[in-house]
Amino acid sequence: MYYKTLLTKFTAFVTAGLMTLANLSADVFHPRSENQTSETYACEEEWSSSRTDAFYDVSMAGSFSAASYEGLRSEPLNMTSDEAIAAGYLTPQTYKQEGDPDDTASFQRMFLDAADKLKSGTHNSFYLDPAKPNGFKKCKAIFIPSGRYVISDTIIPHDSPIKWCAFEVSGAGRESTIIQFVGNGKVMFDDRADANATNGGPIQFAFTTFRDIGFDGDNLSTFMVVKDNHSDINGNKIDNRANPNGVQRMQFISCSFTHWHKIIHMERSYQMLSEFTFAFCRIANCGKSEKPCELFYLNDSQAVNWRFVYTDIEGFEGVAFYLERGMGLSLLGGSVIPEKGTVFFLDFNSSDRTNDSGQSNSPHVYCNGTRFEIKAYVDNPEDTHSILLKSTSILRGTPQVTFRTCSFSTGSSNNQSWRFLELNGAANILFDNCYDCGHIRMTGDLSNSGLINPQIKFINCPSFNVEYFVSNSKGITNGSNVQNGCHVIVDDTYDFYLRSNSNKSGGTYAKSVVGLHECRQNVKLTEYSLVTLKNGRTFPYVIEGGAEKSVPVKPYGFVKYVELTAVASDTYKNYSPVTLTFYDGTKQLGEPVEISLDKTQTHMIVINDFVDELTFKVSHSNSTSPEISMDVEIVKY
């Protein structure tokens, strides 16, 4: 009886599950509650655990995990047009004119029909209050079967009668369903809401998902233009509180974008263009040398929570993320490989753009586990080399940029970009537990950076080569103040300002910072345990071709003192005093110091100076030069 009851309950559970799946027809859409202050966004907190388009929100603080995004994965639908129609989807085949090689008209009618089918009736509104006359509507879902569809004009223009629509658009897989846009510089989806429009607008198809579709452009065109209705079509700010809405919660799941000039172009706006997600997508082969791409162009104070989850952006010429106003951008995993281009361009270069980032927050970029290939192609001139990050930001609103557990493919000096960082303004940049960054440098002109200068911090990046970074960087100073340079901190021990001077392309001017820890840097004098302290010998040194060659130690920091431990000599005992004189390059550091070799002991030589290249010379009056074991450590902040 127990097993019979258990079987009955299990059968009921499976039946209920199958019924739930059967009820997930194309006209069901479950947005998550956006929890906005404006009641325009008051949405039903209705979830379906069996849907795969449910978006799992994560914080910008780095609490990413693959499991958080598993809900975005799905197997592409595998249906014919007839099967899709029978299941309740709209398909372009329904609207296709026989013999017409262009699918533009059929797609335009399909989206109009999807918006019209379900927009009437309060049961389809996201509003909690049925009395509300407007609000985003759950549109009839669209399925695009396998095939290549040629689109030559805008599918939804900015003056379209479509209003307040949330679309659900699925394909049979991004390799199977291909939309070929041959618009010759046009826009596929023109979502520029115009609050002053007499016909159409606001379009704003927010809460919309595209999945399993390949979008192929012509390297001239734009996939989507978005703008809110707090500014007119020309970008002029207006005060219209009747419909204070913005494009929000756009999802692109398992889609591909190839050969686009721009994917999302955001015109200057003021209200809620947020929560754009690209998950498990591929973006490739965009831009040309004669027309570089700007894949994602953000120019809105509320352009926050833009998320790229396991999305690859590869082989582009131009800029991947061009950011002028407002920003909260996250990358989780994925590969980013510019061909000749810049990954992040933070162009906050005027006062009207600073401190205008998501409720006055500083703009920020967060990358976790992303693989970057910032290469230099040896056949190309330096000004075409790839750039990881470029900043022109000044005054307030300094961008905060974090790279955590990322790799950069700069281990080889023969194939690394000489423009890894190009800082012509402020930026606070953190490299945390990053690797394969052995040959990187920065360049820029800080003369216009105002009162805020760049700060770069490397924490636990074992492949980072401080000496290479210093020797090969080109920092341009602003005046004689040492702090008009780029401040660099490495593992809380190396702390210096990177700037150019008249003697070399790159230079270091270090300072002590409160809170940094002492660091001991061992000086390897020779390859032998015994060294000969003959008059005039410079330490450390190497023997090359039978001759001694000085090899300076490079502390790149504020040296407190040097500790020298000498092992006693039975031959000379206390009759062999030795004088040591320390230098930073050719500059003498303090007064000469005399030490005695009568017994094993540690001598402290106080330096208290900024040191780039440390050497020391020995002198004595002994008839025979002592041979001793010696250990030298630099103690610095």
CB atoms within 10 A of CB 136: 27
Residue 292: band (very low, low, confident or very high) from pLDDT cuts 50, 70, 90? very high
Same domain? 254 vs 211:
yes
Same domain? 329 vs 410:
yes
Same domain? 262 vs 342:
yes
Please check whether residue 193 lies inside any domain of the structure.
Answer: yes
8 Å CB contact between 328 and 60:
yes
Please check whether residue 85 lies inside any domain of the structure.
Answer: no
What pLDDT sits at residue 601? Answer: 78
Amino acid at 106: S
What pLDDT sits at residue 474? Answer: 78
Same domain? 506 vs 530:
no
Q: Which of 464, 492, 510 is the C-terminal boundary of a domain?
A: 510
Please check whether residue 80 lies inside any domain of the structure.
Answer: no
Judged against a pLDDT cut of 60, whether residue 241 lies above it is answered with: no
What pLDDT sits at residue 316? Answer: 94
Q: What are the tens digits of pLDDT across the range 125-168? A: 444 444 555 566 778 899 999 999 999 999 998 888 887 788 99
What pLDDT sits at residue 629? Answer: 80
Please check whether residue 496 lies inside any domain of the structure.
Answer: yes
Buried-exposed string 515-550: b where 16+ CB fall within 10 A, e elsewhere: ebeebebebebbeeeebebeeebbbbbeeeeeeeee
Please check whether residue 137 lies inside any domain of the structure.
Answer: no
Alpha-carbon distance 637 to 631, whole Å?
20
Q: What are the tens digits of pLDDT across the range 316-369? A: 999 999 988 777 899 999 999 998 889 999 887 654 554 555 545 678 899 999
Alpha-carbon distance 9 to 3, whole Å?
10
Please check whether residue 398 lies inside any domain of the structure.
Answer: yes
Same domain? 416 vs 524:
no
Same domain? 502 vs 523:
no
Alpha-carbon distance 431 to 526, whole Å?
34
Same domain? 524 vs 502:
no
Task: Using DSSP, state whether 308 is helix, strand or coil.
Answer: strand
Residue 249: band (very low, low, confident or very high) from pLDDT cuts 50, 70, 90? confident
The average confidence (pLDDT) of the chain is 76
Alpha-carbon distance 206 to 204, whole Å?
5
Q: What are the tens digits of pLDDT across the range 46-64? A: 222 233 333 223 333 333 4
**Lowest mean pLDDT, pick from 210-219, 362-371, 466-475:** 466-475
What's the half-sphere exposure (Cβ side, CA atoms, 13 Å) at 118? 26
Judged against a pLDDT cut of 70, whether residue 613 lies above it is answered with: yes
Please check whether residue 134 lies inside any domain of the structure.
Answer: no
What pLDDT sits at residue 41? Answer: 30
Same domain? 457 vs 545:
no
Alpha-carbon distance 539 to 511, whole Å?
25
Degrees, nearest 5: CA angle 520-526-530 = 105
Q: What are the tens digits of pLDDT across the range 102-128? A: 999 999 999 999 887 654 444 444 444
Structure-block tokens of residue 323: 């950011």
State the CATH number of the domain containing residue 422: 2.160.20
What pLDDT sits at residue 101? Answer: 87
Closest CA to 626 of 530, 494, 491: 530
Q: Which of 461, 492, 510 is the C-terminal boundary of a domain?
A: 510
Same domain? 255 vs 349:
yes
Mean pLDDT, residues 583-603 taken together: 85
What pLDDT sits at residue 17? Answer: 40
What pLDDT sits at residue 61? Answer: 33
SS3 content of the chain, % helix, strand, coil (to 5): 10, 35, 50
Closest CA to 286 of 343, 338, 330, 324: 338
What's the domain count of the chain? 2
Same domain? 322 vs 358:
yes
Range of the domain at 222: 142-510
Structure-block tokens of residue 221: 């065109």
State the CATH number of the domain containing residue 588: 2.60.120
Please check whether residue 218 lies inside any domain of the structure.
Answer: yes
Same domain? 153 vs 243:
yes
Q: Which of 476, 510, 544 is the C-terminal boundary of a domain?
A: 510
Mean pLDDT, residues 34-48 taken together: 29
What's the half-sphere exposure (Cβ side, CA atoms, 13 Å) at 422? 20
Same domain? 172 vs 311:
yes
